[in-house]
Structure 1
Amino acid sequence: MGGRAPTPGYVVMLRPDFPSGMAQGTPREGSIQVHLPRDVPLERVHQTPVLARILAHEYLHTWGRERGEDLRSSEAPEAGGEMRWFGEGFIHYLSHLVLLRSGELDLPGFLAALGRELAAVKQNPWYGRSSLTEASERFFEDGDARALSYGGGMLVAFLCDLELRSRGQGPLERFLDGVPPGKPLTRQAQWLEVWARKTGSPEPVATWLRARAPLPFEEALTRAGGTLMEKERRGHDARREYVIQAAEQSLLGELMR
């Protein structure tokens, strides 16, 4: 994806220093720190999907960087804030693809993760009233904007993957090989130029990123051979949940390959 990993090997440090139910990773050149809940014994961490998901996510953050390039861990605003939907959301999607391809997740498990993100995005107060670009620009200032950058970016990555595959232009990873390696893109226009060179037009991605409207997730899912069902909510405050189903012979099933 966009070049190469900056080092041939990594040191992984497991740090049980987070509250219950929380986990996070920090990438460095040649190492990854994983902050885990204090109440989960380290010898049992590998039995949960959390560790594999975080490692995949943080490892992909280092991919395509030039050797010696600083990997930011600061939460200070930075140039390219409008690209957080890509820097976090696409990585979020690709990390789940890594788990799917490696066998850590099966197709139903992958689609379940996608359904959870869809539910979270639909319940996000920014969704439908602000664009994904606008949410990305407020990444460090607003928790809901940050959440939408991750979840909305993951959904856009999924839509891009389906769009490319439906055109016969291969998977998303092949497209990302055309994104210049080294320093991450800091302007959305640059990214859309790469997409236009591949497909002939910046659309429909430009609209997905800039419009203050819901993403065409359900329509794309149906065209790809999937079905979306909302689980019955029990109780007044029950959160929305979705179930996504698809056969391995469908376009969605091709995500496994």
Structure 2
Amino acid sequence: MTSKRLATTAAAAFLLVGLGAPSALALTESTVTGELKLIDTQYGKALADSDGNALYVWEKDSAGTSACADEKCVTAWPAALADDKQEADSAVTGKLGHIDSAQAPTKGKQQLTINDQALYYFSKDAAAGDVKGHGLAPGGAGTTWYLVGADGKPLAVKASTGGAGSDAGTDKDKGAGQTADKPKGGVDAGAEGVTDNNTTLIAVGGGVAALGAAALGYSVIRRRRGSAV
């Protein structure tokens, strides 16, 4: 039964690939955002482009100015470019604007801003909804990258998530990535009903077979006694 399930799962995966299942998209170049919207993340609702790709602000930037201009920064954090007529979901209340891009690949183009802070993509966000850049501080204090909320203010890096924050991995930041303790009995929490389906079915089947055999034996004994009277 297990081998049949594995074969079925493999066949389904192969079919998805053949039908053109969505592939990861690396945001390695500056992109026009389209209509802005909010996406749900573990940090709260965050600003994103029309495809659901998260947008970030950099703590090192000052109002109306981008400090992300060297090759290393541009490669990791390409500018989010403004539309000619920038639109956003009505839930987005931060003030939208634009500045001249400071990044060489997009010189002469307009970088989108919210509350006068330049907006960027993170190149390691491989798919819509990824927020791997939130809380990263590659240069130490004062260089943190943040997701922003509907009002354009940076979202907090919650210690309980154990996510991509600059302190991720410290004792105070253990959270989503922390391994749950095993309950007494040696079974992983939540494992029952997932990995033990076959064992459960066999046990139930064995119980039914035992009951059937007992009933049959009782019936034979009664018949023999009836014949002997």
TM-score, scaled relative to structure 2: 0.26
**Which one has a larger percent helix, Structure 1 or Structure 2?**
1
TM-score (norm 1): 0.24
**Structure showing greater Rg:** 2
